[in-house]
Every structure is written in structure tokens, then in C-alpha cells.
């Protein structure tokens, strides 16, 4: 059985982590397959991506059975396996949705938080498991969680290892929507297909601007906005958007 499965529905690519017996813990083979799936997501014909998990877990981070003997060189494994995945998600110039179907723990929580938005099943839990085994958050956990919930809550959450329910995660702003477990896949597909029908180049550039916004000066951000707006006006979708507005009809964007 493949550790990662991909399916295409129109312009939406769904990537499913597929080690359900261990709540989709990440081992070397899963990292490799996930890297391949994220590479496939770069294609222009893919205009939105959903990442989810098979079975009752989303992803519980590192497969701890690989730590049984000796943790080995964790720094190298993070740089070689985890960092490329997180960076690949942020580099995708299209929306990436985490459909969090169950436990998101450790680096699995970081993975969910690296996505552009999170839709959760009411069965999902959000567990910064690192502290429970004497580790620090990695794979961008400190970066993304601080931006999502602020410094004080990030400290409280990451240092306690507290398991948030889906409802709590929504109250904290970690997830945008909670749906019944049976409805998650359909709702994620619906949101993804709505996003895929939007002007993808403008969405991708907005993503880049938002990633810079947290650390940029106002002058730098204004300049970036001006540069990317110039690029946006050169897209077919911009011309279509203006034409549709003037002709009082819905736009038909093609992501070009």
C-alpha cells in the first residue's frame, strides 16, 4: 500500500497520508512520497491542494518507532525530510487546505499549521506532542503557531502539550471551520474547488505577500504589493475579471 495517495478532481489535488495504523506517523518512505506529491502539486493544472489523513488520524509527526534504539541525527533528518515539505507547501502558489480528520500531533500539527487554512472534523485533536517526549517544537511549529494564536497562547499551548479539541482550535483561530466527521472530505473538496475557480495567480501572489507581511517594514510591503500588483495586471484572469464586471456576468478564471 502506498504511504501517500493522490487523487485529482478537476483542478483539485488531494494528498492523503496513508499509514492509518499509526495515525499517519511519518517515516522515511512517507517523507519521500509526500515530497513527490507536493512536486506534482506544482503543475499549473492544479489550482488547489487538500492534505488529509487516512483512518482516524491526520498525522502524528515522527514515527517514534524509529527512535526506539537511538534518535540518531535529528537535525539532519529535519533538514533533509521535514524542512523541504514545509517549504514546499509555503512555496506552492495556490491554496493548500489541511482537512484535519483526526489527531494532528508533533510535526503533524506543524504540517497542518503550514497549510493556508485548516478545516477540521469534530473528531480532530491538536496536540503539540513534542514537550511530552522532551523535545522542542520543530518543522515550523513555533513559527506558524505563534502567528496563528499569538505569543502568550503559543507558549501556553506548546509548553503544556495540551490537547485542543476541534472546537477549542476553532475558538483559538487555528481552524476556520469544524464539520461533522462524515462531512469533512466533501466540505474540504467543496472549499478547494471554490478556491480553485478563483484567479490562482492572484491567490498565489497574495500568499507570498502574507508570508512576508509579519516581518516586513511598511515601506517594503508597500513596494512588494506594487510589484506583485503590476504582475497581477498582466494575467489573463485580471482582464477576464474586469471584463466580467463591466459586462455584468460571472467571471470565468483559468489561473493564467
| Residue 46 or 129 with smaller CB distance to ligand T3D | 129
Alpha-carbon gap, residue 122 to 224, rounded angstroms: 39
Residue sitting closest to ligand T3D (CB): 61
Cβ 106 to ligand T3D shortest distance, Å: 3
Question: 132 vs 229, which CB is nearer to ligand T3D?
Answer: 132
Contact 59, 111 (CB under 8 A): yes
> Is 83 among the residues known to form the active site?
yes
Minimum CB separation of residue 233 from ligand T3D in Å reads 43
Kindly name the residue from 31, 116, 138, 237 that is annotated as catalytic.
138
Residue closer to ligand T3D (CB basis): 46 or 88: 88
Q: Which is nearer to ligand T3D, 64 or 209 (CB)?
A: 64
For ligand T3D, the closer of residues 175 and 202 by Cβ is 175
* Residue 70 annotated as catalytic: no
Q: How far is the CB of 187 from ligand T3D (least distance, A)?
A: 22
Catalytic position from the list 63, 83, 122, 211: 83
Contact set with ligand T3D (CB under 6 A): 22-23, 25, 60-65, 74, 77-78, 103, 105-107, 127, 129-130, 133, 135, 138
Is the distance from CB of 38 to CB of 75 less than 8 angstroms?
Answer: no
- CA–CA distance, 179 with 92 (Å, rounded to integer): 26
Grid coordinates representing 97 are 487546505
Contacts of 99 (CB under 8 A, 6+ apart): 50, 51, 52, 119, 121, 184, 185, 187, 188
CA quadruple 111, 112, 113, 115: dihedral sign: positive
Residue 81: how many CB atoms within 10 A of its CB? 20
* Catalytic residue annotation: 83, 138
Amino acid at each position: 500500500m502506498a504511504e501517500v495517495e493522490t487523487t485529482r478532481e478537476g483542478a483539485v489535488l488531494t494528498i492523503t497520508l496513508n499509514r492509518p495504523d499509526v495515525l499517519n506517523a511519518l517515516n522515511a518512505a512517507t517523507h519521500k512520497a509526500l515530497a513527490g506529491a507536493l512536486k506534482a502539486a506544482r503543475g499549473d493544472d492544479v489550482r488547489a491542494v487538500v492534505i488529509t489523513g487516512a483512518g482516524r488520524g491526520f498525522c502524528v509527526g515522527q514515527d517514534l518507532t524509529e527512535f526506539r534504539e537511538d534518535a540518531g541525527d535529528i537535525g539532519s533528518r529535519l533538514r533533509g525530510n521535514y524542512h523541504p515539505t514545509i517549504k514546499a507547501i509555503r512555496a506552492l502558489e495556490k491554496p493548500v487546505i489541511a482537512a484535519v480528520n483526526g489527531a494532528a500531533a508533533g510535526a503533524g500539527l506543524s504540517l497542518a499549521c503550514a497549510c493556508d487554512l485548516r478545516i477540521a472534523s469534530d473528531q480532530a485533536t491538536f496536540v503539540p506532542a513534542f514537550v511530552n517526549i522532551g523535545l522542542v517544537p520543530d518543522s515550523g511549529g513555533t513559527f506558524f503557531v505563534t502567528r496563528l494564536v499569538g505569543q502568550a497562547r503559543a507558549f501556553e499551548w506548546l509548553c503544556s502539550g495540551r490537547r485542543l479539541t476541534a472546537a477549542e482550535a476553532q475558538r483559538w483561530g487555528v481552524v476556520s471551520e469544524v464539520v461533522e466527521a462524515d462531512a469533512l472530505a466533501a466540505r474540504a473538496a467543496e472549499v478547494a474547488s471554490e478556491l480553485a475557480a478563483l484567479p490562482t495567480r492572484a491567490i498565489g501572489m497574495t500568499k507570498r505577500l502574507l508570508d512576508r507581511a509579519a516581518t516586513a517594514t511598511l515601506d517594503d510591503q508597500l513596494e512588494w504589493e506594487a510589484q506583485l500588483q503590476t504582475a497581477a495586471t498582466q494575467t489573463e484572469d485580471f482582464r477576464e475579471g474586469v471584463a466580467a464586471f463591466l459586462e455584468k456576468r460571472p467571471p470565468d478564471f483559468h489561473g493564467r
